Structure 1
Amino acid sequence: MAVRRLAGKANPPDWLAMAHGFLAASAFTLIVYAAFQQGIPPSASAGIAILLIAAAGGVVMNLRYHLAHQLIPQWLLHVHILLGLVGTALIAWAAWGTPAA
């Protein structure tokens, strides 16, 4: 999706943006559920918070720009990508990178 926006002068198709949002929301729900069921390290909690901020940026991109048929600002797209990567990396590090207690 980002390649399409950054390479050209068009936003991604509506169906692709919606599918991305639904899949991300589903994964986020499962991560939060696991956090409440088993407890998680502080780095994973930070990752969840960062992903929540990334999700808020995604909602802004969808409601403010995509549905209004305006080009998504590249700075907002870059921030959304960066937050998503950092949040996911923190959660993955907490899951696989820390030794078992």
Structure 2
Amino acid sequence: MDFQTLLRTAVVLLAITAAGGLVLAGIRFSGRPHPPISIAMVHGLLAAAGLTLLLYGALARGLPGMAWAGLVLLLVAALGGAVLNLRYHWQRIALPVSFVLGHAAAAAIGLVMVALGVWNA
């Protein structure tokens, strides 16, 4: 697989992850404090797969500047997602709406920055 295909595959995986995140957020904002664990786990696994590919590409060959900044935001979002999962979801504590929104904002902005960096390189 060539380098550009690797980066674009990472972006597609992260975009699919974002779609799952929208489903999770929709469930949370509809009044249910705990989205289904199965959807949350698939969301996290897809995010980990996309981030792994992106990190591999970044460390092996580098990224354009905007994509590096987006990668940092995605890593912050991943940390936030881990906290949401381990601190709230698994302990059956209602997911805080502000935390969910912050996680989503960091991930969405990071994804757009990475996508623009990858497709414009």
TM-score by length of 2: 0.77
Corresponding residue for residue 26 of structure 1: 49
Deviations 1:15-44 (A, max 9, x none): 111111011001000011111222211111
C-alpha separation between the residues in 1 aligned to 2:81 and 2:104?
Answer: 10
Corresponding residue for residue 54 of structure 1: 77
**Alpha-carbon shift at residue 84 of structure 1 (Å):** 0.5
Pick the structure with greater CA Rg.
1
The root-mean-square deviation of aligned C-alpha atoms, in Å, is 1.0
Unaligned runs of 5+ in 1: none
| Amino acid paired to 1:55 | A
Aligned length: 98
**Alpha-carbon shift at residue 93 of structure 1 (Å):** 0.7
1:67 to 57, 66, 90: 90
4+ aligned runs moved over 2 Å, structure 1: none
TM-score by length of 1: 0.92
Unaligned runs of 5+ in 2: 1-23
